[in-house]
Amino acid sequence: MEPTGGDVADRTPAQWTSDGVPNAAAEDTRLHQEGFREVVSVQTGSTHGQGISWVMQLGSASAASRELTAELHEFAYGPDAPTTTTRFIVPGVPSAKGWVFPGSDANVLFTEGPCLLLVGDALPGGDQRPVVAATHTVWARTHGKPGACAT
């Protein structure tokens, strides 16, 4: 998929959670405690569907790992997630955790240093292959490279 607009930067937890995130006040507090720096997101699309990718920079690698766990609990594996959510891993990306909602969205979360990254799509059928390929592409561009997410 290709970007369908410009990057959007949220520089505070409140900006990030302003689009209807459940328990936004508690999420804002937790993100602030984790050293939230910013989130940059981009919408993507193709003739087959839409997607989103984002990167969240936090105060440390351990904060990024904790946020990965919190995000998975809230949106993928937690009590409000569909019971038929399919989990998967992404070979070659050690921290990657993927999930597919029944017949639709496929998503992967992974960490790189103090950053948490998401690659997601909303393609019909819930095919995980496009997000796995995109995760490998992002990982190849970021892993071990200089930048805000450097380990």
State the DSSP code for 93: -
State the Cα–Cα distance between residues 134 and 136, nearest whole angstrom: 5
pLDDT per position in the chain (151 positions), as tens? 677 878 899 999 999 998 877 788 999 999 999 999 999 999 887 777 788 899 999 999 999 999 999 989 887 777 767 677 888 999 999 999 999 887 778 999 999 999 999 999 887 777 888 899 999 999 999 998 998 998 7
Sequence-distant (6+) residues with CB within 8 A of 150 are 113, 144
Query: Position of tokens 């909303």?
Result: 122
Joined tokens for residue 39: 């989130």
Alpha helices in 5-128 (DSSP H): 13-17, 24-33, 61-71
- pLDDT, position 1: 65
122, 107 Cβ separation under 8 angstroms: no
- Which amino acid type is present at position 141? R
